[in-house]
Amino acid sequence: MGIKNDLSFIMDTNVSLYEHQSTINPNIPLRDLFYISSEYQKLIDKSSLYASTLQKIPAPNFIVFYNGIEPFPDFSVSRLSDAYENLHGEPNLELVVKTFNVNEGHNYNLMEHCQTLREYSQFVAQVRQNKSTMDLNTAINHAVDDCIKNNILADFLRKNRAEVISMSIFEYDKEEEEKKLRKAEFEAGREAGFLEGQKHAALQSSIESAKRMLKSNKLSPEDISIFSGLSLDEVKKLQL
Domain boundaries, the chain: 1-43+56-83+92-109
Strands 59-66 and 96-101: parallel
Question: Residues 73-77: contacts with CB within 8 Å, 24+ apart?
Answer: 73/101, 74/100, 74/101, 74/106, 74/107, 75/99, 75/100, 75/101, 75/107, 76/101
Distances (CA, A) of 189 to 185, 195, 197, 227: 6, 10, 12, 32
User: Which pTM value belongs to this model?
Assistant: 0.67
Integer-rounded Cα Rg, in Å, for the chain is 28
φ/ψ of 85, rounded to 5, equals -95, 140
Mean pLDDT of the region 206-235: 75
Whether the Cβ atoms of residue 16 and residue 9 lie closer than 8 Å to each other: yes
> Which pLDDT does position 211 carry in this prediction?
78
Q: CB-hemisphere CA count at 13 Å for 88?
A: 1
Other C-beta atoms lying within 10 Å of the C-beta of residue 56: 9
Helix (H) or strand (E) holding 9, with range, is: strand 6-11
CA distance 29 to 98: 10
pLDDT of residue 223: 76
- 107-144 pLDDT per residue, tens: 999 999 999 999 999 999 999 999 999 988 899 999 99
Task: Round the average pLDDT of the chain to a whole number and report it.
Answer: 83
Q: Work out the average pLDDT over 167-181.
A: 69
pLDDT band at 83 (very low <50, low <70, confident <90, very high): very high
In angstroms, rounded to a whole number, what is the distance separating the alpha carbons of residues 30 and 223?
53
* Pair 70, 101: CB distance under 8 Å: no
DSSP labels, 76-117: EEEEGGGG-SS--SS-SS--EEEEEE-STTS-HHHHHH-HHH
Residue 69 is predicted with a pLDDT of 87
